[in-house]
Amino acid sequence: MATIKDIAREAQVSISTVSFAINGTGPVAPETKKRIMEVIERLNYHPSSSARGLVTRQSGNICLYVPHPKSNIFTFHDNNLINDMLQGIGESIDEKNYNLLLAWEQNEDDDDASKMMSLVHTRAVDGILFFNPTRNYKPIYELIKLKFPFVFMGSFFDNEPIDTVDIDNFEAGYRNTAHLIKLGHRKIGFVSPGPLHYLLADDRFEGYKEALKDNNIRYNDHYFHIGDNRETSGVEALDRFLSLKDPPTAIVAGRDIQAVGIKKRAMACSLIVPGDIAIVSFENSQLAENHDISSIRTDLFSIGREASKLLFKMIGRKKERQTQHIIIPAELVVRGSCGGKQETSVEE
Amino acid sequence: MATIKDIAREAQVSISTVSFAINGTGPVAPETKKRIMEVIERLNYHPSSSARGLVTRQSGNICLYVPHPKSNIFTFHDNNLINDMLQGIGESIDEKNYNLLLAWEQNEDDDDASKMMSLVHTRAVDGILFFNPTRNYKPIYELIKLKFPFVFMGSFFDNEPIDTVDIDNFEAGYRNTAHLIKLGHRKIGFVSPGPLHYLLADDRFEGYKEALKDNNIRYNDHYFHIGDNRETSGVEALDRFLSLKDPPTAIVAGRDIQAVGIKKRAMACSLIVPGDIAIVSFENSQLAENHDISSIRTDLFSIGREASKLLFKMIGRKKERQTQHIIIPAELVVRGSCGGKQETSVEE
DNA sequence: GTGAAAGCGCTAACAA
DNA sequence: TTGTTAGCGCTTTCAC
The pLDDT tens digits for B230-262 are 889 999 999 999 999 999 999 999 999 999 999
CA distance A259 to A270: 16
With CB atoms and an 8 Å threshold, state whether B91 touches A106: yes
B178 closest CA partner among B154, B219, B209: B209
DSSP three-state, residue B42: helix
Judge whether B122 and A46 are in contact, CB under 8 Å: yes
- Which residues are paired to A252 by β-bridges? A190, A280
DSSP structure class, residue B14: -
CATH number of A4-56: 3.40.50.2300, 1.10.260.40, 3.40.50.800, 2.60.40.10? 1.10.260.40
- Binning pLDDT at 50, 70 and 90, where does residue B345 land? very low
C5 C1' – B25 CA distance, angstroms? 32
A126 closest CA partner among A104, A150, A142: A150
Quickly list H helices, chain B: 4-11, 15-23, 30-43, 49-56, 79-96, 114-121, 140-146, 169-182, 199-214, 231-242, 256-268, 286-290, 300-316
What is the average pLDDT across B263-270? 95
Q: Count H helices and E strands in chain B, helices first.
A: 13, 12
What is the average pLDDT across B169-187? 96
Contact residues, A window 111-140, toward B, CB-based 8 Å cutoff:
115, 118-119, 121-124
- Which residues are paired to A281 by β-bridges? A295
Judge whether A49 and B122 are in contact, CB under 8 Å: yes
- Give the distance from CA A103 to its chain's centroid: 15
CA distance A346 to A12: 75
Q: What percent of chain B has pLDDT over 90?
A: 75
For strand B332-333 and strand B294-297, is the pairing parallel, antiparallel, or unpaired? antiparallel
CA distance B113 to B66: 10
Which residues of chain B between 319 and 348 are close to nucleic strand C, CB under 7 A? none
- In which residue ranges of chain A is pLDDT below 50? 342-348
Query: What's the pLDDT at A341?
Result: 54
Query: What's the pLDDT at B347?
Result: 32
Judge whether B194 and B212 are in contact, CB under 8 Å: no
Q: What is the architecture, at CATH level 2, of domain B61-167+300-317? A: 3-Layer(aba) Sandwich (3.40)
Name the amino acid, one letter, at B94.
D
Judge whether B202 and B135 are in contact, CB under 8 Å: yes
What is the average pLDDT across B151-168? 82
Q: Which residue has the higher pLDDT, A40 or B109?
A: A40
A31-37 long-range CB contacts below 8 Å, 24 or more apart?
A: A35/A11, A36/A7, A36/A11
Residues 6+ apart with CB under 8 A from B154: B130, B131, B132, B133, B166, B199, B200, B303
Query: What's the pLDDT at A217?
Result: 97
- Residue B55 CB closer than 7 angstroms to strand C? yes
HSE on the CB side for B317, CA within 13 Å?
A: 15
CA distances from B332 to B77, B132, B153 (A): 18, 21, 20
- Report whether pLDDT(B344) > 50: no
| A25 contact B CB<8A | no
User: What would the pLDDT profile of B38-78 be if each residue is shown by its tens digit?
Assistant: 999 999 999 999 999 999 999 999 999 988 765 566 766 77
The CATH 3.40.50.2300 domain(s) of chain A lie at 61-167+300-317, 169-297+332-346
Rounded to two decimals, the pTM is 0.89
With CB atoms and an 8 Å threshold, state whether A86 touches B73: yes
Output the average pLDDT for chain B: 90
Which residues of chain B between 56 and 75 are close to nucleic strand C, CB under 7 A? 56
Query: What's the pLDDT at B343?
Result: 38
- Residue B49 CB closer than 7 angstroms to strand C? no
| B51 contact A CB<8A | yes
Question: Which chain A residues are within 8 Å of B64, Cβ to Cβ?
Answer: 102
| A107 contact B CB<8A | no
- Measured to protein CB atoms, the chain D nucleotides within 7 Å are 1-5, 7-14
- Report whether pLDDT(B90) > 80: yes
- Residue A47 CB closer than 7 angstroms to strand D? yes
Listing from the earlier edge strand, what are the strands of the sheet with A164-166? A325-327, A164-166, A150-153, A127-131, A61-66, A99-104, B99-104, B61-66, B127-131, B150-153, B164-166, B325-327
Q: Mutation target for A interface from B4, B6, B41, B50: give the one with most A CBs within 10 A.
A: B50
CA distance B299 to B85: 8
- Binning pLDDT at 50, 70 and 90, where does residue B308 land? very high
Three-state secondary structure string covering A137-195: CCCHHHHHHHCCCEEEECCCCCCCCCCEEECCHHHHHHHHHHHHHHCCCCCEEEEECCC
- Give the distance from CA A168 to its chain's centroid: 12
Instruction: Choose among A51, A83, A101: nearest Cβ to B99.
Output: A101
- Report whether pLDDT(B219) > 70: yes
CA distance A218 to B298: 49
Instruction: Choose among B48, B59, B118: nearest Cβ to A54.
Output: B48
Considering only CA atoms, name the residue closest to the C1' of nucleotide C11. B55
Superfamily of domain A169-297+332-346: Response regulator (3.40.50.2300)
Give just the sign of the alpha carbon dihedral B54, B60, B66, B72: negative
Query: What's the pLDDT at A107?
Result: 79
- Find the distance separating the first CA and the last CA of chain A, reported in whole Å: 59
